[in-house]
Amino acid sequence: MLATQLVIFDCDGVLVDSETIVCRILAEEMNKLGMQTTAEELDEEFSGRPAQDCLLEIETRYGGPLPDHYFGNTERRIREAFQRELQPVAGIEQLLGHLQEINLPSCVASSGSHEKMRLTLNKTGLFEYFDGRIFSADDVERGKPWPDLFLHVASTLGVEPPHCLVIEDSIAGVRAAVAAGMPVIGYSNQPRRAAQLREAGARTIGDLAAAVDFF
């Protein structure tokens, strides 16, 4: 692997432990509308994908446009749960501190919106690590698993793709990094998901703090 000049972090599931919260509430609200699913199934299907793609899939299952109250109610519940429950992913603060100590730049590239990342990163105290270096799928035409977002990050920050190291927890994110020509670490403490990340092209770790060994 070439020398790393930039570390690109996904946000949800890598920096902040938000996906379990979002999938739980989405499942509850979908079940209310007669779409039987579980948080685990949604995590498997939606992890790492842009919100618009997930919304289209939910509407397909529902058979048409969702009721007007669905969006406002779901968003409100997610925001309230974030305020009560949201925490940094275990080990991420140690890893970010290590990168600062060795002066290795890092940034965020997420399928989530800028508004959502401001909320989650501020709530968990991680925003200061990335202020001015936060990128969203909203910034490009196509989100993950397309490589557009990662290539946009590399171009904006002036780093060639092979010198970027991506840390992802989703299959879509790993595929996007591979398509961008970037080495990628897949994070998961679930054996089945870890195997899927390896199959998609990632080296895998089950503890983010252990990633210090790569630098």
| pLDDT by position in tens, the chain (length 215) | 579 999 999 999 999 988 888 888 888 888 888 888 888 888 777 765 666 777 778 888 878 788 888 888 888 888 898 889 999 999 999 999 999 999 999 999 998 899 989 999 999 999 999 989 999 999 999 999 999 999 999 999 999 999 999 999 999 999 999 999 999 999 998 888 899 999 999 999 999 988 988 88
pTM of the entire structure?
A: 0.83
**What is the tally of structural domains in the chain?**
2
Q: How distant, in Å, are the alpha carbons of 15, 65, 74 from that of 122?
A: 11, 33, 21
Boundary-marking domain end, from 65, 85, 105 = 85
State the pLDDT at residue 48: 59
Task: Look at residue 1 and tell me if it is in a domain.
Answer: no
State the pLDDT at residue 180: 98
Same domain, 143 and 208: yes
Number of C-beta neighbours around residue 214 at 10 A: 15
Number of C-beta neighbours around residue 27 at 10 A: 19
Q: In this structure, what CATH number is given to the domain that contains residue 193?
A: 3.40.50.1000
For residue 154, what are the β-bridge partners? Answer: none
Paired tokens of 12: 């949800």
Number of C-beta neighbours around residue 59 at 10 A: 13
Same domain, 70 and 131: no
State the pLDDT at residue 103: 95
Same domain, 108 and 203: yes
Boundary-marking domain end, from 85, 107, 136 = 85
Same domain, 116 and 185: yes
Please, where are the H alpha helices in the chain? 19-32, 39-46, 51-62, 68-85, 92-101, 114-123, 127-130, 148-157, 171-179, 191-200
Same domain, 114 and 59: no
Same domain, 13 and 40: no
State the pLDDT at residue 158: 97
Alpha-carbon 160 to chain mean position: 22
Paired tokens of 38: 């579980």
State the pLDDT at residue 173: 94
State the pLDDT at residue 44: 74
| Domain limits for position 51 | 19-85
